Structure 1
Amino acid sequence: METEIPALLAARQLIRPERFLFHSSRMRMKTVSKDELSAMDAQSDRCALELSDARVDVLGYACLVATMSMGVGYHRVSEARLHGRTVENGAPAPVVTSAGALVDGLATLGARRIVVVAPYMKPLTRLVIDYLASEGYEVIDHVALEIPDNLNVAAHDPQNLPGIVAGLNYKDADAIVLSACVQMPSLPVVPKVEALTGKPVLSAAIATTHAMLRALELERIAPGGGALLSGAY
């Protein structure tokens, strides 16, 4: 999130007048496991409070699987609670989660049958698939790359993703989720995978950017951001 969302908005600045500043508050997590994700989520209230001190215009909660591992529909609970922290601090700001953004981004594309690439271990990937199913999406094929270390997730080479997608059954999919994780980079190959598959391609980072722009009431467009940020929606 701290690399790809600024990259998307920097590209947007080349074609639109709005300018953006970025502030981050970090939650600790080393191994992508259910216990560490739960402990990390408990730190989100602190982060929302710290960021609202800067009087930001929108907050984005980066970790998709942390939200989805807390139970179906949790993104709505999280967004409402964290917005409440900003209100209590006298600096109300909308909050978007990457989990909710992906759910809403797929709806924007009109996608129902999807293919998902995730870096998580298989049990966590299953939680993501079940969460998406609870929101009305059918994951017709997926891959769990089973990378437990969070830094290794960030180090995964996005150039590997086109080949990974080529091995999935995407023919009947409405869209491809190239990275169901804001930590795993995918932005450099989004246009390539769209061209190779003929399908709309999005990621957790692209969906979060879309949701943040919508919360800011700005045009949802950013070069290199795939179909969702093409301006067609």
Structure 2
Amino acid sequence: MTAAARSYRIGQIVPSSNVTMETEIPAILRARESVAPERFTFHSSRMRMTRVTPEELKAMDADSDRCALELSDARVDVLGYACLVAIMSMGHGYHRTAAERLHEVTVANGAPAPVVTSAGALVHGLRVLEAKRIALVAPYLRPLTRMVVEYLAAEGIEVLDHTSLEIPDNLAVAAHDPAALPGIAAALDHAGADAVVLSACVQLPSLGAVTEAERLLGKPVVSASICTAHQLLRALGLPAVAPGAGRLLSGAYAESG
């Protein structure tokens, strides 16, 4: 295998009940394989969580160090922390603290790897798009969605309108029909938004609906998983491009970030 066709190991730290991140991230990077030479394998470690409540999220996050240690045993090239609201529930700016701490776990294990959190990736992806005003769809109960809105506001991103699907059970979040999301997003007050977040949750499936949502809304549409894929690729020093994953991964922002 030539250097240009190198294979990269993608590590993911996921909630035990998450079944979406291990489908959408591979789908995005498999699509990239159709237009670029690099290849990817995928490796996960799980933190226990079944209901999206502040108590379970806090307990789950405390288990993330173990997951980073296990994945560094596999000598992954990059780690993705795949739970946006767990990070945001720990306080403003916590995505930086978590990424640094988990990276240090890999360093101490003799297998240093960069760490991307889905929370930080969403913030960064919106900044890459220069989206200062957004509309947002989230599956959470309203208090948790409000926490996401406030977290983004602390990062300089104004949420003009948002909706909460009010689904506390994490497996029920994964069962939500992604085809319904463009219509849900279109019902938001999005005229003044620079971009729309179709899924502010890595468990709410949305990848298959992003192209339709961008056509319907006439502006960039992202999700937590799309932003995470962008940052995983940039952390590896690779161009962030993948067909069928919206404006952010269209190639226009391949070298951004």
TM-score scaled by length of structure 1: 0.99
Q: Distance in 1 between matches of 2:186 and 2:43?
A: 37
- Cα distance in 2, alignment partners of residues 36 and 227 from structure 1: 34
Equivalent residues in 2 for 1:9-48, closer than 5 Å: 9-48=29-68
SS of residue matched to 1:194: helix
Partner of 1:100: helix, strand, or coil?
helix
Aligned mate of 2:162, from 142, 150, 160: 142
Counterpart amino acid of 2:195? A
Deviation digits for residues 83-136 of structure 1 (CA, Å, limit 9, x no counterpart): 000000000000000000000000000000000000000000011000000000
Give the AA of the match of 1:170.
H
3-state SS of paired residue (1:21): strand
Structure 2 unaligned residues grouped into runs of 5+: 1-20
Deviation at 1:53, TM superposition (A): 0.4
Confirm whether residue 84 of structure 1 aligns to residue 104 of structure 2: yes
Counterpart Cα distance in 2 of 1:21 and 1:162: 31
| SS of residue in 2 equivalent to 1:178 | strand
SS at match of 1:20: strand
Q: In structure 1, what is the Cα distance between the partners aligned to 2:187 and 2:252?
A: 29
Q: 2: distance between equivalents of 1:230 and 1:217?
A: 17
Aligned identity (percent) is 70
Match of 1:102 among 122, 126, 129: 122
Deviation at 1:167, TM superposition (A): 0.9
Deviation at 1:43, TM superposition (A): 0.5
Give the whole-Å Cα distance in 2 for the aligned partners of 1:166 and 1:83. Answer: 39
> What's the CA shift for 1:190?
0.2
SS in 2 for 1:188: helix
Does 2:175 match 1:155?
Answer: yes
The alpha carbon displacement at 1:225 in A equals 1.1
User: Structure 1 CA distance, aligned partners of 2:182 and 2:35?
Assistant: 28
1:168 offset after TM fit, Å? 0.6
1:163-206 residue CA offsets vs partner (Å, 9 max, x unmatched): 10121111110000000000000000100000011010000000
Q: How many angstroms apart in 2 are the aligned matches of 1:22 and 1:59? A: 10
RMSD of aligned residue pairs (Cα, Å): 0.4
**Partner deviation per Cα, 1:13-35 (whole Å, 9 max, x = no partner):** 01100000000001110110000
* Greater per-residue strand proportion: 2
TM-score, normalization: structure 2? 0.90
In structure 2, what is the Cα distance between the partners aligned to 1:6 and 1:126?
30
- The size of the alignment, in residue pairs, is 233
Q: What's the secondary structure of 1:38's corresponding residue?
A: helix
Aligned-pair CA distance for 1:162? 1.2
Return the letter of the residue paired with 1:207. Answer: C
> Would you say 1:68 and 2:97 are equivalent positions?
no
Equivalent in the alignment of 1:117: 137
Distance between the aligned counterparts of 2:105 and 2:33, measured in 1?
30
| Offset from partner CA, 1:126-152 (integer Å, 9 cap, x none) | 110000000000000000000000000
Distance in 2 (CA, whole Å) between partners of 1:85 and 1:54 is 13
Question: In the alignment, residue 69 of structure 2 is paired with which amino acid?
Answer: L
The runs of at least 4 consecutive aligned structure 1 residues that moved more than 4 Å come to none
Q: Is 2:153 the counterpart of 1:133?
A: yes
Per-residue CA shift, 1:19-78, capped at 9, x if unaligned? Answer: 000000011101100000000000100000000000000000000000000000000000
Counterpart CA distance in 2 for 1:80 and 1:18 is: 27
